[in-house]
Amino acid sequence: MKVNQFLLILSFEFLFLLFGESRSLSADDGNQVYIVYMGATDSTNGSLRNDHAYVLNTVLTRNKKALVHNYKYGFSGFAARLSKEEANTIAQHPGVVSVFPNPILKLHTTRSWDFLKSQNHIKTDSTFSNSSSSSNVVIGMLDTGIWPEAESFKDNGMGPIPPGWKGTCMTSPDFNTSNCNRKIIGARYYADGKNDGSKTVRDNDGHGTHTASTAAGNVVSGASYYGLATGTAKGGSPESRLAIYKVCTDGCSGATILAAFDDAISDGVDILSLSLGGPQDLKPDLTTNVVAIGAFHAVEHGILVVCAAGNNGPWPHSVTNDAPWILTVGATTIDRNFQSNIVLGNNKVVEGVAINFSPLSKSADYPLITGESAKLPTADSEDDLEDARHCHLDALDREKINGSIVICDGMNDTNFYYSTSLKVRVLQGMGALGLVHITDKEGAVPDNYGDFPATIVRPKDHATILQYLNSTSNPKATILPTTTVLDYKPAPMVAIFSSRGPSSLTKNIIKPDIAAPGGDILAAWTGTETDETYVPNGKLLSPYNIISGTSMSCPHVSGLAGSIKSKNPTWSPSAIKSAIMTSATQINNLKAPITTDLGPVATPYDYGAGEITTESFQPGLVYETTTMDYLNYMCYLGLNTTKIKVISKTVPKNFSCPKDSTPDYISNINYPSIAIPKFSSQGTVNVNRTVTNVGEVDETVYSATVVAPFGATVQLIPEKLQFTKSSKTLSYQVVFTSTFTSLKEDIFGSITWSNGKHSVRIPFALTV
């Protein structure tokens, strides 16, 4: 399905009253795919609701081949091929709420787990497994499939498949039943009828293999990417099983994503990991967001849903997958860097950052010029000189560029998107031997430039190069191939590409929720060349690849959640989510506050509660966000009681939305963070939170520490929480008072409960 398809949300009296009327269609004539969504199912055995069957039969009577997907396990509805007229007719049905375009979503390790353990503040009894033992936890991956032959997915030493597993292993000419095992226990694909790559679970992209091995890959020694990042590769939960749902081939169809959610709920997964999301300019509300719809039903069935925050940073309001029942993950760097240094003709070495396999000599034998000195003969204006300094294509003389290493200025370039990669293409096409890019705009996550010797130099080191250029009439240099640097400081930093808050849904909940390693992560790769595959001259295809994105940070959290679930099998999705968030760290390996990789100190809009740690195995206290919290959230956003009862299978019969529902009440749902919009205009705001003692000791006392920002006072009632055998759940009140008549910017603080062993921290945001 492509972008000209449409998504039809049809719900039995669901959201119709909110909008008052259905949305009109603007599709071209002809058959297209629509989704009919009808809220909760009546049962889990696959039987259809009467109204579901009626509408479906109406469609099939017209065209028996119209059905694409039938959603009947986790929620009710179907996807079908309809003409514009047929869709408009169905849209007039009393149960039809809205018709909207079917979104095509996009895809958003050796060192990272060791680094995360090193960030712990206390010694924990549990840690990531280093063996091939097995658990009954199943992590479902909605992605591009899997390359089952990778060492990360062998099942040596694993026990039998969990007895409650109901999934299947779908086969194709290139994927047979033996490709599933006791590690990969489920494999499903969703053929779109147009692309042969969608008719197999096999991953011909690499993305799905990379994320699956990051989440639950086995322990594999001697992993590397052509000698870089050498070490032992392992997933966050190597003892967990994998269920693969191939939902992305050319993009990720919303209808297919919903089908995978439906199957995963029926199959019996415990964790769902989605390293995908809509583009930045696609801001659907909860009623038109396929990930939010599928995730709500999954969470209602006891499944934790972990999603990537998106790669549209560092711009504010760019976070996606921000429904409160989703664990939304931003990306950070780790304490490993990749250096590609420059050797100048005077034997001075200047540090550069990049991944490349430079074929140049290690001696400084190559002409070194600046972009400005390679300007066209006709360049005479200051603008022309500026363009040449920045290495713009139409400002450079090809004869001067050919055979030289070129220094390009990126410090003052007003074109933020003229990246190192684009400059590589320009210079490579003009015969340059290499690129030295002087910039601080591209953050701390180096890209891969293959055999072309390209490297990034920070402005602080630019003076060394300029001094050398001015000291000789015949400057020479070389660019060395990349080497791996460990124990790099500072780390972590929030990656420049990681999408930022606040949420576009509501500023009453902080998003993203958490951050995890997502910069230059090494993990398993497909066995065939893809768009993101590079093979150096004379080398064979690597079974591992290094790539970056919140797509890489998401499975880190999914793997951590899988290990927590394995050791705490009765914990709810929200308990696991709380454990991960409240144990996060905000301190880097210099014992200083975590920053963004552009320099400023990070805020909860950058990393949520902070960077994950393995202290989440023993959180002490958890904040249980219940289904009732989520139902109230829907009320506060404007949905009414009737439609909410259609959405949820667990809503009590006597449930009703408060008559005075307002988004301000969202701040009061039992979430492991707090956000108060329009704070200064409200004067004083009270919110409540409830915590449950899950520590080793029943009788314990937690005392509070508040870090309050300038402009606010914060009072806790009570200031101590005394737990006993009969009082494992206690509540407290937070009173925020503004000391300013107005705020010029959002301010942040935190509340930490500690009993001497466990420290349970939640961030808060007081917004303009």
Active-site positions read: 143, 207, 551
The secondary structure of 707-736, three-state, reads: ECCCCEEEEEECCEEEECCCCCEEEEEEEE
Helix (H) / strand (E) element for 553: namely: helix 550-567
Angle separating helix axes 290-300 and 627-637, nearest 10 degrees: 150
Q: Which two tokens stand for residue 507?
A: 């500023």
Q: Residue 309: phi, psi to the nearest 5? A: -80, -15
d(CA 134, CA 130): 11
Q: How far apart are CA 608 and CA 605, in angstroms?
A: 6
Task: Determine the Cα–Cα distance for residues 662 and 282; give it in Å rounded to an integer.
Answer: 25
How would you label 570-583 residue by residue, b for 16+ Cβ within 10 Å and e otherwise?
ebbbbbbbbbbbbb
Q: Are 432 and 406 in contact (CB under 8 A)?
A: yes
Task: Output the furthest CA–CA distance in the chain (Å, rounded).
Answer: 86
**Using CA of residue 693, residue 699, residue 700, residue 701, what is the dihedral sign?**
positive
Candidates 359, 369, 275, 289; CA nearest to 322 is 289
- Residue 81 contacts residue 31 (beta carbons within 8 Å): yes
Residue 481 CB coordination number (10 Å): 21
Q: How far apart (Å, rounded) are the C-alpha atoms in residues 762 and 598?
A: 25
Q: What is the C-alpha separation between 69 and 294, in angstroms, rounded?
A: 14
